[in-house]
Structure 1
Amino acid sequence: MKTTLLEAVQKRFKTIENEPLYAVATLLDPRFKDRYFTSADSIKHAKDALTQEVEKMEVLQSRTTPEGAERVPENPHKAPRMEAQPDSSSSRKSSLKGLFEEILQEHDEERGASSTSTQVQIQTYLTEQTVPRSDSPFHYWGVNAIRFPTLAATAAKFLCAPCTSVDSERLFSAASNIVDARRNRLGGERAEMLIFLKKNLPLHLKL
């Protein structure tokens, strides 16, 4: 029985580490982080997915204030932009070209600073020691939200509780309706096929 159960788990969950949802949630759990991935490739894919999610969250936070208003980032040290001169068309073209290049340069600098901040947060978080298994990850992020603001916001997105357990309970009910006293000779493979058809055939018929 143990051998059969182990084979079933390996068959169904052998690609679980490559699923971005589960990989990012595991990295953001301070009890696990990247300590339990089975291969270097899985860790790399998980960190890449985490970096993308943190960058998305950083962009979202930079666009809005706590009141929901738009916020325009300003750099007090940047030089004033050139203005077009009205007396010459060639000078206007030159000024517009310079203004366009200046905007592009500012945009690249902002993206570079954002990327650096993201990498620093992720690297610092992952290099720290994991917390005990008995500790709450929500308490950890509540305490460390000041040190890792973007990571904490991303963790709140990925570590939220499932909205309901109805689907899993319905699956157990479907199994009990198929394997009952009148079908007590069904083998495991045949019962699995019937449950699969019960749950998935209506979805295909709708298409």
Structure 2
Amino acid sequence: MKATLLAAMGTRFQTVEAEPLYSVATILDPRYKDRYFTSAESSKLARSALTQEVEKNEESSLQTTTTEAADPASKTPRMTAEPNASSCFKGLYEEFLQEHAAEQGGASSTATQVQIETYLAEKTIHRTESPFEYWGKNKERFPSLATTAAKFLSAPSTSVDSERLFSTASNILDEKRNRLSGDHVETLIFLKTNLPMYLSLNPKDLNPQED
């Protein structure tokens, strides 16, 4: 049985380290970083994927900043301007923005690499510590990495709770009990879902006679 389970896991998860979603999430977890990849190639791919994600976020932020800076200038009315002069000035202005964006992009890329190398060179935190607290404390030191970590370390969406709710409704309203009103069904579903939680918080309600 153990051999069968091990073979199944090897088949299902043999390419998991090559998936950017999982590799970036792992390397951004300060409890693990790049210490647990099974090969140097997998670690290299994870670093590359992390760099691409951080640079993508920085480019998006830079484009937003550039757009916000350019909008007020484009909305400023011009009282008197010759067509040729206006066209010439507009061309110079756009050229300046492009050069500025290129310079910022180069500096941003260097800063990104410095953040990544500094972060990976530090020791990992203990496995019982919270990675969210770590990024909350170090977001000033690693701003780009902290932004990316907030994206990849967030809780994934799930439909488990809604599926359980549908199952509860189907168990309450069935062929043998099909004349319940909508209000009664809603009340029973509410009690089924919330009563265990209420009793766990108030165990004395299980034996009210003890009071």
TM-score, normalised relative to structure 1: 0.62
Name the SS of the counterpart of 2:69 in structure 1. coil
Per-residue deviation, residues 142-196 of structure 1 (Å, max 9, x unmatched): 11111111111100000001221529x89xx9xxxxxxxxxxxxxxxxxxxxxxx
Gaps of 5+ in 1: 74-85, 90-94, 174-207
Alignment size in residue pairs: 151
Taking a change above 3 Å as real, the CA distance of residues 63 and 105 of structure 1, as seen in their structure-2 partners, is: closer
Name the SS of the counterpart of 2:155 in structure 1. coil
Matches within 5 A, 1:73-112: 105-112=99-106
TM-superposed CA distance for 1:62, in Å, is 3.1
User: Are positions 1:33 and 2:33 aligned together?
Assistant: yes
Measured on the aligned residues, the alpha-carbon RMSD in Å equals: 3.3
TM-superposed CA distance for 1:98, in Å, is 8.6
Name the aligned partner's letter for residue 144 of structure 2.
T
Name the aligned partner's letter for residue 153 of structure 2.
L
Aligned-partner Cα distance in 2 for 1:148–1:33 = 14
Largest Rg, 1 or 2: 2
Aligned-partner Cα distance in 1 for 2:150–2:95 = 38
Percent identity over the alignment is 59
Name the SS of the counterpart of 1:52 in structure 2. helix
Gaps of 5+ in 2: 71-81, 168-211
Which residue is equivalent to 1:126? 120
Tell me if the contact between 1:63 and 1:72 (Cα under 8 Å) persists in the aligned partners: no
Taking a change above 3 Å as real, the CA distance of residues 163 and 100 of structure 1, as seen in their structure-2 partners, is: closer
Choose the corresponding residue for 2:141, options 144, 147, 152: 147
Taking a change above 3 Å as real, the CA distance of residues 57 and 22 of structure 1, as seen in their structure-2 partners, is: same
Aligned-partner Cα distance in 2 for 1:132–1:113 = 33
Q: Which has the higher helix share?
A: 2
User: Are positions 1:3 and 2:3 aligned together?
Assistant: yes
